[in-house]
Structure 1
Amino acid sequence: MKKITKQFLLSVFSMTALLFVGCQEEPALTGQSTIEVAQNVTSTVAFVAPLAATQTVNEKAAGKYQYKLNISNAQPVDIYVDVKLKSGTATRGTDFDFDEHLLIKAYTTSVTGNISILSDLVFEPTENFVLEIGGDVNISNASIPATTISFNIVNGLSDNLDLKFNFNKSFVDGTTARTLCGIGYDMDFYVLDADLNDTGIYQAAASGCPEILTVSPAKFPNGTYHIYYDIWDAHGLNTMNTPEFTIPITVDYFRGGGNPASNGTFAQEAIFAPTSKTVAGSKFEFVITIVVNNGVFTLKNSVPTTVATLKTVNTVLDAIKEARMNNKK
């Protein structure tokens, strides 16, 4: 009885071992573990409109350009492709940027590359750059020949005119040195139309020191605009222990991408300037006139316009009061 049991167990162990070896060898015998690599793979670069091999773009039309790098057959491994800056006068990170490394993932056949044209709003001559895609990828079964893309970037002139209204001033309160901005002195600048009506443009009538105004085509169609100031809050300046002084208003004007010689500072005429004794809400005076004509901006003082005579008309007073009422702070 014992001998039969031993022989039976020995037979079972032998069969188990045979089955185990068979399972281990089966993938190799059937070829299931083999990785097949596609041969004679070719590549193409497809430009996504409006991208072309060579183009000239205006910096003002900043944006993204794309292309697709395609291979004819998917591979079982990742393929890495570098994009190189070959030459150019433009500066990467300021004038343009691009995807430097592309990855075609295993078992896929394409990747999208990006090129960005940036707007730095700096007056510059025409600049250029050339990119090279691939050229250094050469695996045993595929190669990616070099493809170049060229850009010429033309200086872009902003559609907007940016104005900064400055009214800060240092003074001494008794023996204490102070500034208007420091004490919270608040001066607003309202935009009136050619007939001295409130336009509802209150960007420069906030709580800034200085105040900022963007003259854009959307808000300033062709026409004439007059800027008047309003002392919203003198913050007790007229009661401080300081001799009376004039508060001059200057207007810095700047157009992005424009010749620096076209930018500068406009000084308000002295006869319209407030003083430290002017009470808030008691005086509304002329600062500057802006004439907009098809993208051309002209700044004027009171002399060549009718503002000098109209400024005392009740229309101005009513317009500023209306603007004050509508301008919620």
Structure 2
Amino acid sequence: MPLVTSKEMFKKAYEGKYAIGAFNVNNMEIIQGIVDAAKEEQAPLILQVSAGARKYAKHIYLMKLVEAAVEDSGLPICLHLDHGEDFEICKACIDGGFTSVMIDGSKLPFEENIALTKKVVDYAHERGVTVEGELGRLAGVEDAVKVSEREATYTDPDQAVEFVERTGVDSLAIAIGTSHGAYKFKGEPTLDFERLEKISKMLPGFPLVLHGASSVLPEFVAKCNQYGGKIQGAQGVPEEMLLKAGQMGVCKINIDTDLRLAMTASIREHLALHPGDFDPRQYLKPAREAIKNMVKHKIRNVLNCSGRL
């Protein structure tokens, strides 16, 4: 089975009122853990690659790993570029076999964002690739994306409609209160569901996307801290809020920080308990299992997409 685009995935997700997990990948063990979880849960799956991950692992290595995952699992997998910052990287990923790309022009003025996004859409659609745009800016840090709270802005519903109509994007990442990284809220966690409902009603049937949607699961934070970490005060998005968003037109939920925490917690624990180990397989195998179990939890309890193939 070849890689697929997100188009049919999102259509089913919107109609079924659930979301699809878009999990960031950096290496073989992360890909294996995610794919094994999706296969066991019979869930649709998006694997996404940031510019930083693409630079770290190299495009060709990631492509071959994802192709192996498709062949090994038999799953319909969408391979997506996360936070493409310019036309050139989107073009390289489209030409290099990705089936979906995100062009992030959210830092640009509205008209410039439209022009850049449309340029990517025109190139991608001619080649059968889907495109995600972004309107509004999330606070926080993820790879090269760094936005202060002062610079963050929520998505304007009226602008969202105009943006979608003028660019022809296939999905839209919106800002309603999530943020990148592990430190998402200083006070009581909250998402602007009133804004989400308005955007969804103004764009009926159109798939929306939430970035910065890791829940920063307490058990992984605690384990990281127990074995030498300093992740104090981290607070993610409550899982019940993400589940609700998936019933309101959000068809794609990005998950990265939770993967990093699950893997790091497992490796730190193993090396603390087995300080004599120096074979990477000894600590990467349980780390892969930790990712798998975390992803299965997300698929069942947050995304509600188990058994949706």
Bin of the TM-score, shorter chain as denominator length: under 0.3
More strand as a share of residues: 1
More helix as a share of residues: 2
> What is the TM-score normalised by the length of structure 1?
0.20
Largest Rg, 1 or 2? 1
